[in-house]
Amino acid sequence: MYPSLFLIPVPLGETEPSKVLPSYNREVILSIRHFIVENVRTARRFLKQTDAGIVIDELTFYTLNKYTSPEEVSEFLKPIENGYSIGLISEAGCPAIADPGADVVAMAQQKNIKVVPLVGPSSILLALMASGFNGQNFAFHGYLPIENVARTRALKTLEQRIYSDNQTQLFIETPYRNTQLLEDILKNGRPLTKLCIAADITLESEWIQTLTVAEWRKKQRPNLSKRPCLFALYK
């Protein structure tokens, strides 16, 4: 195995790894001794869940957060120069999509290190698949602004792009603010614009539904409080 930076996805919440991760990922994990992680405790738990026989004490963990300096990241990548692969483990879902991992990957690319992404669950992609919306042209925006005027303006701009660019618009919110975001969408959206809400993706309680804004307005609101959700808009 050519020494590489492997990007290792993790289940989204309490899900069996075999439900959302290929068995090949386990093989890769078992061949690696050096891991860059956001939280050592949860990373250890994931590794034990992947293979109960893993001897955690033989592994080296490097902790990554938004305060980690470029010099530290550079240091984390040293084992590759000595021939040892490194695994970058996400806290949930796919590394480097919505977490600090992207900086590690960017530096690896700068150093001409081989980067190998492994398959795993992405709530963005799974929501897009299940929405029925345009998958040939789509944008993910992360979090919208919290402040009222800025948020309304952001929602209007995204809705405009659906019609001008034929582009699906995806975004997220902190779970305890989901209910408020839904109200803001229903207040500001055009009646015929479609909204897909995808909650608890890959979990037992997974729930994904697409309706027009007008239809959502007439329905009893779903309970989205504290549930990880993706919101998608299209025409």
Contact set with its own copies (CB under 8 A): 7, 16, 18-24, 94-99, 102-103, 105-110, 112, 115-117, 119-122, 124-142, 167, 196, 201-202, 206, 208-211
CB of 156 to its own copies, least distance (A): 15
CB of 63 to its own copies, least distance (A): 20
Cβ contact 220:154 at 8 Å:
no
DSSP 118: P
Q: Per-residue DSSP letters for 155-204?
A: HHHHHHHHHHH--EEEEE--GGGHHHHHHHHHHHS-TT-EEEEEESTTST
Q: Is 42 left (phi over 0), alpha (psi -120 to 50) or beta?
A: alpha
Looking at the Cβ atoms of 65 and 112, the one nearer to its own copies is: 112
CB of 166 to its own copies, least distance (A): 10
Torsion 41-47-49-55 (CA) sign: negative
Residues 224, 52: Cα–Cα separation, whole Å = 34
Torsion of CA 129, 131, 135, 141, to 10 degrees: -100
Residues 172, 167: Cα–Cα separation, whole Å = 17
Question: 60-63 and 34-37: which strand pairing?
Answer: parallel
Count of alpha carbons within 13 Å of 136, Cβ hemisphere only? 2
CB of 57 to its own copies, least distance (A): 29
CB of 114 to its own copies, least distance (A): 8
CB of 105 to its own copies, least distance (A): 4
DSSP 234: E
CB of 126 to its own copies, least distance (A): 4
